[in-house]
Amino acid sequence: MGCPLYFLILLALGVHADTCNAKTRPQTPLTGKNVLILHAFESNVPIFELTDRGLRKSLDAGGVGIRNQFFEYLDLARNPVPEHRQRLVELLLLRYASRKIDLVITLYQEALQFALNEARDIFPEVPIVALYVPLGFEPPQMTQRIIRQIVAPDVKGTLEVALKLVPEAKRVYVATGANPMEKSLENSARKDFKDWEGQLEFRYLSDLPLEGIIAAVSSAPPDAIVLFMGFAADVTGKNYTTREVGKMLGEVSGVPVFGLHDVSLGYGIAGGSLISFEYIGTRAGELAVAILKGAENVENIPSVLQVPHVPMFDWRQLKHWNLSESALPKGSIVINKEPTLWDFRYYLLGGLAFVIAQSFLIAGLLVQKRRKRSAEESLRQKTEELDQFFSVSLDLLCIANTEGYFLRLNPSFERVLGYRREELTAKRFLDFVHPDDLVKTQDAVSTLASQRRVISFQNRYRCKDGTYRWLEWTSASTGNLIYAAARDITERLKREAEAAQRSQELAHVSRIATMGELTSALAHEINQPLTAILSNAEAAKRFLAQADPDITEVRQILEDIVRDDRRASDVVRKVRTLVKKEMPGDEVLDLNKTIQEVLGIIKGESLLPGLSITVELSPELRLVRGDRIQLQQVILNLLLNSVAAMRDSPQTQRKITVKTAMADGASASVSVTDAGTGIDENDIERLFEPFYTTKPEGLGMGLSISRRIIKAHGGDMGASNNPDGGATFAFTLPAHPGDPS
Amino acid sequence: MTEEEHYVYVVDDDTPVRKALERLLRSAGHHAITFGSAPDFLDFCHPDAPGCLILDIKMPRVSGLELQDRLAEKGISFPVIFITGHGTVPASVKAFKAGAMDFLEKPFEDRELLDAVSRGIEKHRRFRQEQSELKRLRTRLDTLTPREREVFRLVVAGRLNKQVAFELGTGEKTIKVHRGRVMEKMGAQSLADLVRFAEKLGIHSSAG
């Protein structure tokens, strides 16, 4: 956004700079070229002053500097004696003999003649620009190049302009001096005025002395205008300047005074189509520069310098006489104008450009500011939102540094740990960590310090009341700042522990329930040896009570009693291990052995009449890792499940096959196949849901708990129907990596 | 225990139990013959002597209850004492319905078993005596002429000689002779004896 703005400003400034440069930058400097301006008369006459001004300006601009401009005022009119002229020659010789003058500009015929005659040897062969030579003056034929400028006032043009401004004018008072030039001018004017014969009444005042002229003008009727054509001397021979006379006329006149020379402008005349002496000076200077540069061959320059008249007016006069500015000719120069905005248009344009640029800049800055503010606002809003989240979060949020101090904490810290914020920030956070968790916490901080994230990190923090809460952390770091979120998982861990315990208890209950289903089979297993023991013992007693007891027989009996007792306690022990409530064990197991242990407790026939259990145990089976009792329970559950499925089958068909095998090389599989009723395909998944049962006396927990046990061991359990009837329940367990067999 | 030779049969698939029961019975003076399965027992040609059967209710292939049925089919009528590791109501009800004499739950006191065995033997002995008396009576009954059988039936039904003579259309004197011959052939000392024999033989008066 800023770029176009600055560009605009540069553009504005650049334009300005360019215009300045164009005005001040000298063209190819004319080093060492000297120009002499030779005035015929005194220096302080307005006409000369204005001419000098124009000359200085254009010479300077053309590369002829002040040090190379030489002004000489011959003052010939006031010193008409020959000695003066002689002395002037000497003076000029003194001044310019050793100096090369490259061009001479003369003002008035007298100066030109002086240069061509008395001063001829001082400035030999130097081109001359001769200003203000009268019409008809022909310079002598010389090798020297002379370019003339002829003074020819625009009387007709001025009258035309005057009549446009004062259309109601009926009379024209023609005021002018009486020297020869002025007389000649009046004569030519009279010819020009023939065009207005009949329309206007002309009154010529040159025959009157100045006082008379003033008197005449002051009493001019309202339908008159005054045409002031210049005034060097009146009829009495008294010298004046055009400016001072024009001023006098302007002061006394009751009607507008129009003039022919810019020297009067601003000094009493309303204006006219004027000879501008300053302009003539300017043009002469430019011509001089052109000649000196040699850009133009002197020979090709016209011998007459034409300087156009300039319509010029005094704004105050126009206002005073209530003359319409709109009647002025195109290109008119109006002086003394109260400055209007138009007059300042370039400044205004520049200023405007600047203002526009500045406006853009300001607008840009405002936009930027607004954006910044809106960004700040949205940032503030976001920060506020974050702050809100920060303070309402149930989780513990903090920013800490890797030196081990909390920098910022949310209220949850105070709530969970019970400390005040200051207490938490005063100490290193490691001071709050449980001694047993210290090492791993330090490790976690090191991990964070190396700009890695830490997730699901758990440790214990000491609360104000001395108890410990378990916190689970997720942290990231930037530089030495740690951003961390923690969750109080104390309750969760407690619940998980309780759930684990409940699950264990449930497994226990389930085992007891399983035992319940096994009761009759187990009772048989235990009662058989007990019956044998009791009967043997009684028999022995009787034998011994006989007259001649057969001791051998009694010894045999005792041996049998011991054996049967062992057999009974064996069953009891096996049952007890199954029912015993124990923490889950973790040992490396041979599933083949585990299966045989289970089958050692229950016998097919004792579960279901006619039932035969076949085992096909793979010698390649690899060891697994797990809890022996739980896995025994699973196998037992599967067997009982199969038994239940065959309760209604004919005795001859009651057959269970327990098979082990290696599945895909990395897991051991155990399958229990029965020849029962099979499973309803729709129920296959539901079979493993808790409390789902098809057995009238079943709890519906066996399979669900079995599957849970297997999953907890990293395995899986499933069921399918056999193609030739019955179902197969199978589970797999990952093989123990340490057992490559 | 008793003078007469008798046998106790034991059918149990559990060898140690079987062996222990044989010893116990032997120590109590019984003749015990043991079998590992029901078919073994069925195949055995048991002596014609009082006896009883100790049967494990839960056995592979043929259970105690099934054996009980088979024996009934074969007309073998030993009193049966069921022993079981874990008594179940349906099994025991079925056993009793089929004529089980006793039902013992393992492990049992020796006295319980021996008392049951004694009761069983005694029962069987009585049963055998009744069976033999009935056989004797039937043999005697076979010696009666049809006229004497008529007289026998009417006399045990409580008819007087005159009534019998009237029913059979003959004289009272003739009936007296028939009656005396029936008493003699049947080995009855009195009318009461004759009535008891008739009961045992299932002879009922058709003249109701």
Q: Is the pLDDT assigned to residue A248 strictly greater than 80?
A: yes
Buried b (16+ CB within 10 A) or exposed e, A412-422: bbbebbebeee
Instruction: Specify the pLDDT at position A13.
Output: 45
Query: How many CA atoms, within 13 angstroms, populate the side-chain half-sphere of residue A271?
Result: 33
Q: Rounded CA gap, A657 and A661, in Å? A: 13
Q: Rounded CA gap, A497 and A490, in Å? A: 11
Question: For residue A21, what are the CA distances in angstroms to A27, A54, B14, B157, B162?
Answer: 11, 20, 134, 172, 185
Q: Is the pLDDT assigned to residue A517 strictly greater than 70?
A: no
Instruction: Specify the pLDDT at position A696.
Output: 56
Q: Which of A515, A535, A556 to mutate to test the interface with B (most CBs of B within 10 A)?
A: A535
In chain A, the largest separation of any two C-alpha atoms, in whole Å, equals: 208
Instruction: Specify the pLDDT at position A16.
Output: 43
Considering chain A, what percentage of its residues have pLDDT values greater than 70? 88
Residues paired with B54 in a beta bridge: B10, B81
Instruction: Specify the pLDDT at position A14.
Output: 43
Quick check: A589 and A626 in contact, CB under 8 A?
yes
Q: Model-level pTM greater than 0.90?
A: no
What is the overall mean pLDDT for chain A? 83
Lowest mean pLDDT, pick from A413-427, A610-624, A685-699: A685-699
**Among B residues 20-59, those touching chain A with beta carbons less than 8 Å apart:** 20-21, 23-24, 26-28, 58
User: Is the minimum CB–CB distance between A535 and chain B shorter than 8 Å?
Assistant: yes
Quick check: A221 and A176 in contact, CB under 8 A?
no
Lowest mean pLDDT, pick from A563-567, A630-634, A667-671: A630-634
Phi, psi of A174 (to 5 degrees): -95, 110
Residue B152: name the closest of B120, B97, B195, B103 by CA. B195
Residue A35: name the closest of A126, A113, A133 by CA. A126
> Looking at residue A126, what DSSP letter applies?
-
Quick check: A175 and A264 in contact, CB under 8 A?
no
User: Is the minimum CB–CB distance between A611 and chain B shorter than 8 Å?
Assistant: no
Q: By CA distance, what is A567's nearest residue in B? A: B16
Question: For residue A253, what are the CA distances in angstroms to A324, A434, A603?
Answer: 19, 116, 155
Six token digits for residue A170: 């009926």
Torsion of CA A650, A653, A656, A659, to 10 degrees: -160
Cβ atoms within 10 Å of A342's Cβ, excluding its own: 8
Give A636-672 as a DSSP string: HHHHHHHHHHTTTS-GGG-EEEEEEEEETTTEEEEEE
Quick check: A452 and A478 in contact, CB under 8 A?
no
Residue at token pair 């040992």:
A587
Q: Is the pLDDT assigned to residue A733 strictly greater than 90?
A: yes
Residue A670: name the closest of A617, A601, A611, A706 by CA. A617
Q: Is the pLDDT assigned to residue A576 strictly greater than 90?
A: no
Supply the ipTM of this predicted assembly.
0.77
Instruction: Specify the pLDDT at position A460.
Output: 93
Q: Rounded CA gap, A136 and A131, in Å? A: 14
Compute the C-alpha angle A69/A70/A71, nearest 5°: 120
Q: Rounded CA gap, A255 and A171, in Å? A: 11
Residue B185: name the closest of B175, B197, B203, B170 by CA. B197
Give A640→chain B minimum CA distance, Å.
18
User: Is the minimum CB–CB distance between B104 and chain A shorter than 8 Å?
Assistant: no
Instruction: pLDDT band for A298, please (50, 70, 90 cuts).
Output: low
Residue ranges of alpha helices (H) inside B35-77 are 38-43, 64-74
Q: Is the pLDDT assigned to residue A685 strictly greater than 80?
A: no
Question: For residue A544, what are the CA distances in angstroms to A228, A547, B28?
Answer: 186, 8, 12
pLDDT (tens digit, 9 = 90+) per residue, A448-503?
A: 888 888 888 999 999 999 999 999 999 998 888 899 999 999 988 888 888 777 76
Q: Rounded CA gap, A544 and A550, in Å? A: 8
Instruction: Specify the pLDDT at position A20.
Output: 40
pLDDT 10s digit of each residue in chain B, 208 long? 445 789 999 998 889 999 999 999 999 999 999 999 888 888 887 788 889 999 887 776 677 778 888 888 887 788 888 887 665 566 667 777 667 778 888 888 889 899 999 999 999 999 888 888 888 888 988 888 888 888 888 888 888 888 888 888 888 888 889 989 988 988 888 888 888 888 888 876 554 3
**Among A residues 538-577, those touching chain B with beta carbons less than 8 Å apart:** 538-543, 546, 553, 557, 560, 563-564, 567
User: Is the minimum CB–CB distance between A612 and chain B shorter than 8 Å?
Assistant: no
pLDDT (tens digit, 9 = 90+) per residue, B141-200?
A: 888 888 888 888 888 888 888 888 888 888 888 888 998 998 898 888 888 888 888 888
User: Is the minimum CB–CB distance between B109 and chain A shorter than 8 Å?
Assistant: yes
Instruction: Specify the pLDDT at position A506.
Output: 67
Compute the C-alpha angle B197/B199/B203, nearest 5°: 100
Q: Is the pLDDT assigned to residue A288 strictly greater than 60?
A: yes
Instruction: Specify the pLDDT at position A668.
Output: 93
Q: Is the pLDDT assigned to residue A10 strictly greater than 80?
A: no
pLDDT (tens digit, 9 = 90+) per residue, A82-132?
A: 899 989 998 998 888 888 888 999 998 889 888 888 888 888 888 889 998
Q: Rounded CA gap, A635 and A511, in Å? A: 12
pLDDT (tens digit, 9 = 90+) per residue, A177-225?
A: 988 888 888 888 898 888 888 888 999 998 999 999 999 998 889 999 9
Quick check: A249 and A258 in contact, CB under 8 A?
no
Six token digits for residue A713: 């061991």
Query: How many CA atoms, within 13 angstroms, populate the side-chain half-sphere of residue A408?
Result: 11
Enumerate the residues of chain A whose CB falls inside 8 A of the CB of residue B23: 535-536, 539-540, 543, 553, 557
Instruction: Specify the pLDDT at position B32.
Output: 92
Instruction: pLDDT band for A3, please (50, 70, 90 cuts).
Output: very low
Distance of CA A26 to the CA centre of its chain: 46
Within chain B, strands assigned E span 7-11, 32-35, 51-56, 80-84, 100-105
Whether B27 and A538 lie within 8 Å, measured CB to CB: yes
Residue A521: name the closest of A574, A582, A581 by CA. A574
Give B83→chain A minimum CA distance, Å.
10
Enumerate the residues of chain A whose CB falls inside 8 A of the CB of residue B85: 520, 523-528, 531
User: Is the minimum CB–CB distance between A293 and chain B shorter than 8 Å?
Assistant: no
Buried b (16+ CB within 10 A) or exposed e, A69-79: bbebbbebeee
User: Is the minimum CB–CB distance between A490 and chain B shorter than 8 Å?
Assistant: no
Q: Rounded CA gap, A739 and A357, in Å? A: 86
* CB pairs < 8 Å spanning A and B: 92
User: Which residue in B16, B27, B107 is closest to A560 by CB distance?
Assistant: B16
Phi, psi of A685 (to 5 degrees): -75, -35
Give A570→chain B minimum CA distance, Å.
16
Cβ atoms within 10 Å of A604's Cβ, excluding its own: 20
Residue A595: name the closest of A630, A620, A632, A625 by CA. A632
Instruction: pLDDT band for A228, please (50, 70, 90 cuts).
Output: very high
Q: Rounded CA gap, B169 and A364, in Å? A: 156
User: Is the minimum CB–CB distance between A182 and chain B shorter than 8 Å?
Assistant: no
Cβ atoms within 10 Å of A530's Cβ, excluding its own: 19
Give just the sign of the alpha carbon dihedral A15, A20, A25, A27.
positive
Residue B58: name the closest of A269, A610, A239 by CA. A610
Would you call A274 helix, strand, or coil by DSSP? strand
Whether A531 and B109 lie within 8 Å, measured CB to CB: no
Would you call A27 helix, strand, or coil by DSSP? coil
Q: Is the pLDDT assigned to residue A710 strictly greater than 80?
A: yes
pLDDT (tens digit, 9 = 90+) per residue, A37-46?
A: 999 988 888 8
